[in-house]
């Protein structure tokens, strides 16, 4: 079933290759990543407003299997260098995700904010966490995806492009990751 669906997605991308406008080519991506830049899918990141250089690196890494997640590796496989640029640039122009209003825990928000300052996330990710260049927008990213990603950086199962996140995450404890993710997901 997984294989079938992956193949379906793959077929959609392949079938629409090149001839179709980007709006149609990207539709299979948005089926999971969400229309209007905001993901409704568990553990799947919102793409809206993402920094184009960052997305380009991620798509490249998926295509080259330097970042491993089978559905994305399959999706990226047939893409040319120009395709990668096209998708990255288009994604950057999609509306950025909005902060979820419910289930905000003030105590966790406070702890998360302190952690962001303490570990200087804002230095590279910008004070509003909107990212810059190859450093991603993380503000209002899905909380589950943030927690998962930070955990993967910490145990180095997700190799960053240049490994700086592995270094940054080394001293951060698991429960602190939960607070960080909560804060970053809800930051306004």
Q: Which residues bind another protein (CB under 8 A)?
A: 1-2, 4-6, 8-9, 31-32, 40-44, 53, 56-57, 60-61, 64, 66, 68-71, 81, 84-85, 102-103, 105, 108, 110-111, 114-115, 117-120, 123-124, 133-134, 142-144, 147, 152, 157-159, 161-164, 166-171, 173, 175-176, 178-179, 182
**Contact 17/78 with Cβ under 8 angstroms?**
yes
In DSSP terms, 132 is beta-bridged to: 135
Q: Tell me how far apart the alpha carbons of residues 130 and 49 are, in angstroms, rounded to a whole number.
A: 8
Shortest distance in whole angstroms from residue 129 CB to another protein? 15
Which C-beta is closer to another protein: that of 96 or that of 142?
142
We find the least distance from the C-beta atom of residue 131 to another protein, in angstroms, to be 12
Which one, 64 or 128, has the nearer CB to another protein?
A: 64
Q: Which residue number, 22 or 144, has a Cβ lying nearer to another protein?
A: 144
- Residue 75 CB, shortest distance to another protein, in Å, is 10
- How far apart, in Å, are the Cα atoms of 35 and each of 14, 30, 58, 93, 94? 20, 5, 20, 13, 9
Token pair in block for residue 76 = 């990226």
Q: How far is the CB of 73 from another protein (least distance, A)?
A: 9
- To another protein, the closest distance from the beta carbon of 15 in angstroms equals 15
DSSP per residue over 93-126, as a string? HSPPPPPP-SS--HHHHHHHHHHHHHTTHHHHH-
Closest to another protein by CB, 139 vs 169, is: 169
CB-based burial label for 87 (10 Å; 0-12, 13-18, 19+): buried
Residue (17 or 31) nearer to another protein, CB:
31
- How many Å apart are CA 183 and CA 187, to the nearest integer? 6
């Amino acid at each position: 079933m997984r294989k079938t669906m992956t193949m379906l997605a793959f077929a959609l991308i392949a079938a629409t290759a090149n001839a179709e406008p980007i709006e149609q080519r990207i539709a299979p991506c948005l089926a999971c990543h969400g229309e209007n830049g905001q993901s409704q899918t568990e553990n799947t990141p919102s793409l809206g407003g993402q920094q184009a250089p960052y997305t380009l690196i991620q798509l490249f890494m998926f295509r080259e299997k330097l970042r491993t997640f089978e559905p994305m590796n399959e999706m990226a496989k047939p893409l040319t260098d120009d395709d990668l640029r096209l998708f990255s640039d288009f994604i950057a122009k999609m509306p950025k995700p909005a902060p979820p209003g419910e289930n905000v825990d003030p105590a966790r928000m406070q702890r998360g904010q302190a952690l962001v300052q303490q570990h200087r996330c804002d230095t590279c990710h910008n004070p509003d966490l909107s990212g810059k260049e190859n450093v991603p927008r993380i503000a209002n990213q899905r909380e589950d995806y943030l927690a998962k990603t930070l955990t993967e950086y910490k145990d180095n199962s997700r190799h960053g492009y240049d490994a700086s996140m592995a270094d940054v995450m080394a001293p951060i404890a698991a429960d602190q990751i939960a607070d960080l993710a909560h804060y970053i997901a809800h930051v306004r």
